[in-house]
Amino acid sequence: MTMRSDLGTPPLNIEDYSIDPVRGFLPGSNPLVRLPDAFAEWEDCAHFLPKLLMTEQFRSLSRELPDFPVEELSSESEWCRAMGLLSYVGHAYVWCEKSLPEFLPSKIAKPWTTVASKLGRPPILSYASYCLDNWRLIDPSGAIECGNIALIQNFLAGMDEEWFILIHVEIEAEAGPAIRLLPQVQMSALVNEPELCCDQLGQVRDCVQAMLTTLRRMPEFCDPYIYFHRVRPYIHGWKNHPEMPEGLVYEGCFDNQPQQFRGETGAQSSIIPCLDAMLGVSHADDPLKAYLLEMRSYMPPSHNSFLAALEQSGGIRDFVSASEFGPLTEVFNQTVQLVEDFRSQHLEYAANYIYKQIQTDGNNPSAVGTGGTPFMKYLKKHRDETGDHLLVKE
């Protein structure tokens, strides 16, 4: 058994980790759409980003912006919106032209670094700003689902970019009830309640099925060619990128030494790692696992801490294996299989949307992920390792 033995310890309280009991890793309050008037010129720049990126003047225009008044930020939602705004402007500055800049101007670099430090994340566009904090409801009384959500921030805009991100937002919403249940599943196993564990795990399974169903909708409005050539170029980072081997200088920050940060990637979502932790799915030690662990530093720190706590509590696989309650094994295997299916679908999209596309620009390589890894090998490895954790009862 890998579960903890301290039976007096209650299950983890997700709200201690800034996790909403309904929305999961999405913010409990709807993301802030626009910062106060003191940030008006920056907000206007971000709002018109799809237009400005067509002018070939974005770098010069952004250097003319007033100083970003970090001192005016006063709430968590404002800090998160500031991080999203600066991340989009920063990435737009780097990737708006084929010729890459030698440095990021201090006007962007300094506030971006300050805001990122406040939020406990690197100063680069990460999944939290790209997805978790980047949506608004059309009907405030409706569900967080495609058809009732829109993005707050875009690069070039258009249906394909919008849909690509909104699919992830809906997946996060569908995962919410499962995230709430994960500590309870662990506790049921710990106190040897197989029937209760089975019921709770069945609810988690249903959430993962909903996530997979939504993921399979990606091709409805996101075309592989458009994604590769119009959406993907702006989300690359500057670590292990072939065109930026030394990284990027943030003027006036980090002693003006080049910094290497990985680009936005779904590997920065906390959902699948948390499911792995609860199920007891492990991955072999190698450079690709090290990359997966590195991605945790790009998550909101509270979510990273929750993931670590789940891992400390231990997975339920040994408990299920030893249990004589047959339905529990069945539900466990169904859940593991769905996580494997989710990874398989992601792998298929990676092949069709990236690997099979014809590279026309060194800034947007087809063999290296936006996180700077050989992603096909990475995705195949973790899919296969998930399937290896299915239980076979003799």
Helix, strand, coil percentages for the chain (3-state, nearest 5): 55, 5, 40
- The answer to whether position 75 is within a domain reads yes
- Could you give the CA distance from residue 336 to residue 332 in angstroms, rounded to a whole number? 6
pLDDT averaged over the chain? 94
43, exposed or middle or buried, with CB in 10 Å at 0-12, 13-18, 19+?
middle
State how far Cα 177 lies from the chain centre: 18
- The answer to whether position 71 is within a domain reads yes
- The answer to whether position 170 is within a domain reads yes
Query: Which pLDDT score, from 0 to 100, does residue 4 have?
Result: 46
Q: Does the global pTM surpass 0.85?
A: yes
Q: Under a CB-based contact definition with an 8 Å cutoff, are residues 129 and 83 in contact?
A: yes
Give the CB-side neighbour count of residue 253, counting CA atoms within 13 A: 23
Looking at the predicted structure, is the pLDDT value of residue 7 above 50?
no
Residue 307's region, left for phi above 0, alpha for psi from -120 to 50, else beta, is alpha
- Helix (H) and strand (E) counts for the chain? 15, 4
Query: Which pLDDT score, from 0 to 100, does residue 42 have?
Result: 98
Q: Residue 394's pLDDT band (boundaries 50, 70, 90)?
A: low
The number of distinct structural domains making up the chain is 1
Q: At what angle do helices 375-387 and 287-294 cross, to 10 degrees?
A: 90
Query: Tens digits of per-residue pLDDT, 280-295?
Result: 999 888 777 888 899 9
- The answer to whether position 393 is within a domain reads no
- The answer to whether position 394 is within a domain reads no
- Could you give the CA distance from residue 216 to residue 227 in angstroms, rounded to a whole number? 16
- The answer to whether position 41 is within a domain reads yes
- The answer to whether position 137 is within a domain reads yes
Q: Under a CB-based contact definition with an 8 Å cutoff, are residues 32 and 83 in contact?
A: no
Query: Which pLDDT score, from 0 to 100, does residue 17 have?
Result: 97
367, exposed or middle or buried, with CB in 10 Å at 0-12, 13-18, 19+?
exposed
Give the CB-side neighbour count of residue 309, counting CA atoms within 13 A: 19
CATH number, domain at 62? Answer: 1.20.58.480
Domain with 153, as residue range(s), is 14-387
- The answer to whether position 392 is within a domain reads no
